[in-house]
Each structure stands twice: as C-alpha cells, then as structure tokens.
Chain A
Amino acid sequence: MKGQLYKNPILFAVVSTLVILIGSIIMMVYPMMTREMHPKLEALKPYTALQLAGKDIYQREGCNNCHTQTVRPLRAEVARYGEYSKAGEFAYDRPFLWGSKRTGPDLARVGGKYPDMWHYRHFENPRAFFVESNMPAYGWLKDAKLDPKDMEAHMKVNGFPYTPEEMTTLLSKTELDALVAYMQVIGTAVTRKLAAAPAAAAENEGKNPLAGDTHAIHEGKELFDSNCSACHGGKGEGGIGPALTDKVQLSDGKIYTTIDKGTQGGMPPFGAGMDKKKIWSLVSYVRSLQTK
C-alpha cells in the first residue's frame, strides 16, 4: 500500500483529496449546516430595488477594495465607527462585502450618518470635503441611468419583494441616486448607537470655559476649516448644512452637544475624533461668527 501510493497517481489523487477534505468539511461545510452561520436580525429588511442597484454599483466599481464593512469589537474602532458588526446584519448580502483593506474608512455604520446631499457632493468631489483624500471622484455616475428590466431580474434572483410601481420609479433615477440610497441603508439594522464620549453629558449645561479666548478661536477656525466648512461654508454662510451666522439663542452647551453627537439624519457626530478642548474651541469660533 505504502509503496503503491507513490506509484499510482489515481490512488495518490484520491488520498490527497481526502486529506484536503478533512479541514474543508470541519471548517467550511459543517458550519454551513449549523444555524449560527445563517443569522438574521429582526430589524434587517431586504434591499429595495434602488438600494440593490446601488449595491450592484458598489460591487461593479470595486468600492470594497478600499472600504471595509465590518467594525471590530475594539474600543478605538467602536469609538471611530460605531457599534461593532453583528452576524445577523448581512443575511441579504450575496456575497458579504466586508473587504480586507481600509484605504478609506469603514462603511459599516455609514447609513444615516450624513445627509444625502453630503454624499452627492462627496462622490462628485471627495477633495472638496477632505483635501488630502485619495478617493476617485464618481460624479460621472449621475449621467448613467438605471435599467428597470435588469433590476427586476436582480431582485428576482435575490428573492426580494418589489412592486411594478417601484420598478417604474427607477426610470427617473441615476446610478448616483442608487449608490447614495445604498450608502444610507448600510448598517441601519443595528440601532445607531452614537459613540458616547465619556464625560460629555456633564458639559451639556456647562458654560464654555474657552469663551472669547482668542487662541481658542484661532484653533477653532482651523478645526472648522478642515471639518465643517464643506457643509456650513467657509465663513459659516451655510450650504448643505444651515448658516451659522444668524444670532440664534442656542446655549454653548447645546452647540457643544450638536458637534459632539450630531443630529439624526443631518450632521454627523464629531465627538469621537475631538477631545473637549477642541469642541469648546469650535464653539468659541462658531460664536465669533455670530457676532459679526
């Protein structure tokens, strides 16, 4: 037998196959037959036709080569991106789109983080928001129309429910509309749990310790230029976000909380990336815009 093995290629192939199959069965086939590999969150909904079209474009353009869609349960990562990824979030992804390289940031919790208009502008010119970004521009997607016939076939293969009316609405949509719709649904099955900056709650009613501090206003301006001006305008005159030049009766604490936590469907939270001093400096700068 032993001598035969190295003389008989068929026997050798059979034995090799069996050796290869042991690990494959235990690590790949067996788990597939257990329920833990097929979880689904209750809140998870099938993609709509527009969202699926967006996901198809995401795959076509190879977005997953630079963006991951899985937040690891590590402290800094949860602080940066939000709640860590759950097994039951991906039941409708064939295949999964977790990626393996973060040239750009993780997108697992991007749904609802920014307003639609932010995405449109950012896709058209990423460097308008982040000067040093290396992301290609995707404005050309707005010149490409969706094909309802194709999308109907795609919905059918996935077994997602749809109505004929839904398909007709696709006629008026562009590929960019679809991609933005997909962005806005990623990760939304998990309740968006804002990264809680530990001591933030105490600041809510607090007064700005740096109010009127010229050095703080100067630092705040720098932060504003790199983080806020793309939406609120270079001098706070407004854009995607509201103008900041009007004299409104918001308390310092309220402005602080807005910067820290963001607003639902509007402004993204900045608290995870800025310590207290930076946020208060921004508050000082925003105040200085109002008095003008």
Chain B
Amino acid sequence: MSDYQYDNQTVRGFILSSIFWGVVGILVGLLISVQMWKPEFNFPPYFTFGRLRVVHTNGLAFGLGLGAIFGITYYIVMRLCKRPLLFPKLARYHLYFFNVAIALAAVSLFAGMNQSLEYAELEWPLDIAVVILWVIFAVNVFGTIIKRREEQMYISLWYIIATVVAVAVLYIVNNLAAPAGPFKSYSVFAGVNSANVEWWYGHNVVGFIFSTPILAMFYYFLPKSTGIPIYSHRLSIVAFWSLIFAYLWTGAHHLIYTPVPDWIQTLAIVFTMFLIAPSWGSVVNGYYTIGSDWSSMKNNYLTKFFLLGITFYGLQTVQGPTQGLRTVSQLIHYTDWVPGHVHMGTMGWVTLTATASMYYIIPKIHDTEIYSVRVANTHFWLVLIGQLIFSLTMWITGIQQGALWKAVNADGSLQYTFMETLSKNYPYWKMRTGAGVIFTVGMLFFIYNIYMTIRKGKALQGREVAR
C-alpha cells in the first residue's frame, strides 16, 4: 500500500458534472433535431434553432468534453506520477469554477451573446473564465508531473502535455477581440483573415479536445482494463510527434472554394491527407494491442468500447481527409453530410472511449465492481446503433442534397429550387431524431449504471465503517 491518497472526490466531481452537462447538451440536441423538420418547435427568443445549436455544441464540447477531460486527466496524471495532485485544493476550486463557468456560458448563449466563431462562440468575459480554468488545470498538471515519483513519462502524459499547450495557444489567439460593451465584442481579425484564423482554431480545437486527450485516455485505460500492454512504444512515439506537427497545417480544408488564397487551401489539403498516417498509427497500435488477445473482447465488457472507439477514430480520420479533397468538398460541403461526419467522431470515438474510462474509474475509486455488465452492454449497443443511424442518414441526405444543388438542365438552368432540395431532407431528419432518441436512451442506461455503482460503493463503505 502507498503512503498517500489520491484525490478521488475531485475526479468523481468532474465526471458527474460532465455527465450532467452531457445530458443538457444531448437534450438540446434532440430538440434542435426536431426543429429541423418541425419549425413550430422554435420558441423565441431563447429557444430558436439559431441560439440552441450553439448551446448544443458548446454544452457537449466544453461541458461534457472538458469536464470529462479535466476529471479523467487528473485521474491518469495522479496514477502515472504515483502521487496525489500537487495542489488538491486548487483542483477542488477548479471543479466549482468549472461548473459556474459552464452554467454562465449556457445562459449567455441562450441570451444570444455570441461571437459567431464556430466552437468559440462565448463572449469575451467567458473567454477570460475559460482561460483561467485552463491555467488552473495547466498548473496542477505540470506541477504534479514535475514532482512525480516515476522516472518515465508514459504516452498518455505526452498527449496531455500537448493538449495543455495547444489549446492555450489556439483559444487565446482566436478569441482576441475588442470589447464593445460587457457582453459584445468584435474580433481583432476581419474578413478573409478572420476566416483563416477561425478554422486554424476550429479544426485544431477538435484535434486537441476530441483527439489528443481522448487518445491519452485510450492509451491509459485500454492496457489498464484489459491487462494487455500497448503493442508498440516506438509506433506511439512516431504517431504522436507527426500528429501534433501535421494537425496545425490543416484548418483551411474547411475553406475550400472560399476566397481564402488557393495556396493555403492546397497546402491544407496536402497536410490533411498526411494526417491519416499518424491517426492510423494509434488505430494500428490499438488493434494490435487487442489483437494479441482477442478473447478479451468476450471476457471483458470494456474492450469492445475501446475497440469500437478506436475504429470510429480510424474511420473518422479517413473520412475527414477525403472530405478535404476539392472534388469531394464540392459535393458535400455545406450539406448534412458534415454533421454526419462530426457525430461519428463525437458519438462514436469520444463518447465510447470517455464512458468506458468512466466505467473503469468509478468502481475503482469506490472500491467495488461495476453495478451491471448487462446494463453496460445494453448501453453499448444502443449508443452504437443510434450513432450509426445518425451518421448513415445524414450521409445519404447530404449526398442527395449536394447532387440536387448541382443538377442543371440542358440549357444551363437549375433543375431544383432550393425548397425542393430542402424538403427532400425531411424524412432523413426525422430518422435522425429517432437515432438521437436511441442514443439518448443508451446514455440513460450508462447514467443509471454509474449511479447504481456509486450507491453500491457507498453502501460497502458504510458497512466497513460500521465494522
């Protein structure tokens, strides 16, 4: 036994907060999916699609995403450094401040305070709050790693360090703005230049919130939960450095055929294609790791979460670069294909990996077993089916819409009015809502399982104290 105690309370607090904001984000997602085919479900001023869509994306990226990343990273860092956090009290304040900031962020977005930068919608006072949150996180992570009791830094720590520095640079630069009041600002960047800065940020914040910290979880919890060591250390070194090198070049693939200079678009496409290699470095590493003992797929309920998670990561990182190509972009850009793509990454890769990590952590810190493997399996299949239906329907209708937009008669006139191309989306948008419901039910099974596990853990603890 060790002579120190891990700060499990803060870790658990972040995980539960993350789940709470996740529920909010998912419910808003369901509502806006209905608004897409039933405009009567818009309730102005606070509950119109235009305002809610950013509540959905920010709630899930920052509420669910960051909450999970903060909590799980603290968990990983303590174990890999064989010591408690350097500043446990600061971590506790970090947790409180996080929830206050996310609540204020949600309120501000409902109120329409919006910088109109995708994934950087929050207005300047909240930007400052996010930066403070990040600094607290960085201080604790770096301090703990510096004072660690383990010589080597494991792969997960590399990804965590890269996440901390990259998000700081990206977030601060893209949010630079001149305030024009307490809740309104104008970006210091204008026009074409602001587009280039925004997508340098937008693409990479996906990279450094939805890729690198999730990879840190993957590299830590896959071996932990299966007992199989990572297949190749060398491959993970090559994959890590080439990933963080190439990522920052690629943002302009969001701006194909816009007035941004051609050379920027082309260079971004080239690096986007290159990015397949380091992404698949992790995919191959994951597959070979599990491949050394396939029986773990059967014996361990968590293995399939990680395997499917990394599979969707692999599919995502091939589909993404393909979309960057000019010919493909021409057809699918601006259509529903793109939400289909995004949700494969978020509902597939991110959620599967993060929930599996939580399934591992919660019983561990309560010194018990998971409440029900069966419930976990039900959760798994529901979110998998929900996500697949979501992505498939959006891909189909996206291609359809792209094709209808392009269709011309022999005399050069368009074959379809915009309304005709829009109304053909309706059946797919309805199916997408159905997919969302299935996914949500799956997440409810997850939440129930986590809740019951905590209850079981507390009951055990109580018995021990009584003894």
A residues within 8 Å of B by Cβ?
6-7, 9-10, 12-13, 16-17, 19-24, 26-28, 31-32, 36-39, 56, 59-66, 68, 70, 72-77, 79-80, 85-87, 89-105, 126-127, 130, 132-138, 140, 150, 153-154, 156-158, 197-199, 226-227, 271-276
Contacts and interface: CB of A to CB of B under 8 A. Distances in A.
Given A91-B190, A157-B186, A62 B197 contact: no
Given A61-B51, A134-B36, A134-B39, A96 B244 contact: no
Interface stretch (B109-117, B213-221, B311-319, B367-375): B109-117
Contact of A38 (B48, B191, B271): B191
A22 B157 CA distance: 22
Contacts of A23: 245-250, 271
A95 B406 contact: no
A133 B419 contact: yes
Most buried by A among B186, B188, B330: B186
Interface of B: 35-39, 42, 44-45, 48-51, 53-54, 112-118, 142, 145-146, 151-153, 157-158, 161-162, 164-166, 169, 173, 177-181, 184-198, 200, 241, 244-252, 254-255, 257-261, 264, 267-268, 271, 330, 333-335, 338-339, 405-409, 411-414, 416-419, 422-423, 426
B412 A198 contact: yes
A94 B186 contact: yes
A158 B188 CA distance: 10
A271 B417 CA distance: 11
9 contacts: A10-B142, A13-B165, A31-B264, A65-B53, A94-B187, A101-B335, A136-B49, A140-B44, A154-B184
Nearest to A105: B418
Contact of B406 (A76, A89, A97, A138): A76
Given A56-B184, A273-B417, A20 B258 contact: no
B152 A7 contact: yes
A132 B423 contact: yes
Contacts of B191: 38-39, 87, 89-93, 96
A28 B244 CA distance: 16
B417 to A, nearest CB: 5
B253 to A, nearest CB: 11
B252 to A, nearest CB: 7
A96 B412 CA distance: 31
Given A27-B252, A153-B180, A62 B53 contact: yes
Contact of B257 (A19, A28, A72): A72
Nearest to A81: B418
A60 B142 contact: no
A275 B49 CA distance: 35
Contacts of A99: 334
A197 B190 contact: no
Nearest to B146: A9
Contact of A79 (B45, B162, B412): B412
B248 A6 contact: no
Contact of A17 (B115, B165, B411, B417): B165
Nearest to B142: A9
B56 to A, nearest CB: 10
Contacts of B113: 60
